[in-house]
Amino acid sequence: MKILVVNCGSSSLKYQLIDSETEVMEAKGLCERIGIDGRLTHQVTGKDKYVVEAPMPDHTAAIELVMKALVDPEHGVIASTDEIDAIGHRVLHGGPTLTTPMLVDQHVKDVIRECFDLGPLHNPANLMGIEACEAAMPGKPNAVVFDTTFGMAMPESHYLYAIPYKYYEKYGVRRYGFHGTSHTFVSQEAIKFGGLKPDAKVIVCHLGNGASVSASIGGKCVDTSMGLTPLEGLIMGTRSGDVDPAVVQYIANKEGMDVNEVLNLLNKKSGMLGLSGVSSDFRDVEAAKNEGNHLAAVALEAFRYRVAKYIGAYTAAMNGVDAIAFTAGVGENDKVARKEICSYLTYLGVKIDDERNDVRGVNRVISADDSAVKVMLIPTNEELAIARETVALIK
Ligand code: ADP
């Protein structure tokens, strides 16, 4: 079967066409600047990129251009969109009620809409993507895979905040966790690739622009570092991660800002960008550090320290750890970050093998043979995970 996987942001739309039998990605692409002007970068596997500058007033227009590119006689990969069997959508937040992957119907769309205030940047875009695909490919099944599904397996004592219970009952205020598709995929891959027992205790470090850590036993979530929204947990590109909530009130009072403005500051102007003052991109911060920028060095160390602190906490949460897996932009590409994070973990018997760690973007064990914990690099593949879930739903 051919599955189109769609991941919409407010002004962007990423897609992959995946053959579910071979699990080969046949084409991928990105629509950018939707609602501004519009640019599509399309690439069939093994061929050069094909760029189209064309107006994209909305996500429906973007999807129509994607369809055109996919069937283009020269740059396409299918003869007709009839060959697409289903569309799988990444959706950020399903709230407390939509907890597993499912086929889209009116109720699903209504709930995604009800969750706009839980995922203000992503949920509206995700819904636009679904409606755009329904319009462009009438009658094709659309499936949704929620970023929150993995975290829904957490026990009550791990997901509840210690605030009056009525806010959970009334509004679903709890820890949900995000990057769920990635944590599910990587924890399961780590068990398979590492030859671990099926109920292995695995910590996954998804370290990218957005970053989170999870603890899982046999792939089932015990804890994960993001919360009601993706703001909680690690230091990220532009997000602060954990802060004392009193910081919000204090800055609001001092600067004459309201809560929304301070939350915007914590989401978009903090993290590596805010602390270093250089950039949200880890490579830029690393370059600034190498030029002697003190705050860039502090930001990198703070990021790595926070990851190590979570690994320690999650080892306690599971009363042990069999494997630690690194993934996403930084986790897959930055051997120094992996090594430095692991340098906090020698008390667990973690030993990194420098030669094995000198690797990017492939499945590999990077710990020494006598390391007490297997440390691995496992590239994430959220699109493939979404395609698998979509196939399971339509079969
Ligand atoms: P997201 O999907 O959350 O936008 P990614 O997982 O793509 O993020 O990660 C992007 C981050 O990965 C960027 O900050 C980038 O600097 C970082 N990154 C990519 N390659 C490297 C590298 N070789 N060394 C350090 N950081 C890297």
- SS3 string, the chain, reads CEEEEEEECCCCEEEEEEECCCCEEEEEEEEECCCCCCEEEEEECCCCEEEEECCCCCHHHHHHHHHHHHHCCCCCCCCCHHHEEEEEEEECCCCCCCCCCEECCHHHHHHHHHCCCCCCCCHHHHHHHHHHHHHHCCCCCEEEEECCCHHHHCCHHHHCCCCCCHHHHHHCCCCCCCCHHHHHHHHHHHHHHCCCCCCCEEEEEEECCCEEEEEEECCEEEEECCCCCCCCCCCCCCCCCCCCCHHHHHHHHHHCCCHHHHHHHHHHCCHHHHHHCCCCCHHHHHHHHHCCCHHHHHHHHHHHHHHHHHHHHHHHHHCCCCEEEEEHHHHHHCHHHHHHHHHHHHHHCCCECHHHHCCCCCCEECECCCCCCEEEECCCCHHHHHHHHHHHHHC
Per-residue pLDDT, 353:
98
The reported pTM is: 0.93
Same domain? For 216 and 332 the reply is yes
Same domain? For 60 and 121 the reply is yes
Per-residue pLDDT, 10:
80
Give ligand 1 pocket residues (Cβ under 6 A). 208-210, 237, 281-283, 328-330, 333-334
Q: What is the CATH number of the domain that holds 96?
A: 3.30.420.40
| Catalytic residue check, 147 | yes
Q: Is it the case that residue 73 has pLDDT exceeding 90? A: yes
Same domain? For 210 and 355 the reply is yes
Instruction: Kindly state whether residue 342 falls inside one of the protein's structural domains.
Output: yes
Find the catalytic residue in 19, 82, 110, 147: 147
Instruction: Kindly state whether residue 177 falls inside one of the protein's structural domains.
Output: no
pLDDT tens digits for range 217-257:
999 999 999 999 999 999 999 999 999 999 999 999 999 99
Instruction: Kindly state whether residue 175 falls inside one of the protein's structural domains.
Output: no
Instruction: Kindly state whether residue 98 falls inside one of the protein's structural domains.
Output: yes
Query: Which one of 124, 146, 168 terminates a domain?
Result: 146
Q: Whose CA is nearest to atom 14 of ligand 1?
A: 281
pLDDT tens digits for range 154-180:
999 999 999 999 999 999 999 999 999
Count the domains in the chain. Answer: 2
Q: Whose CA is nearest to atom 27 of ligand 1?
A: 330
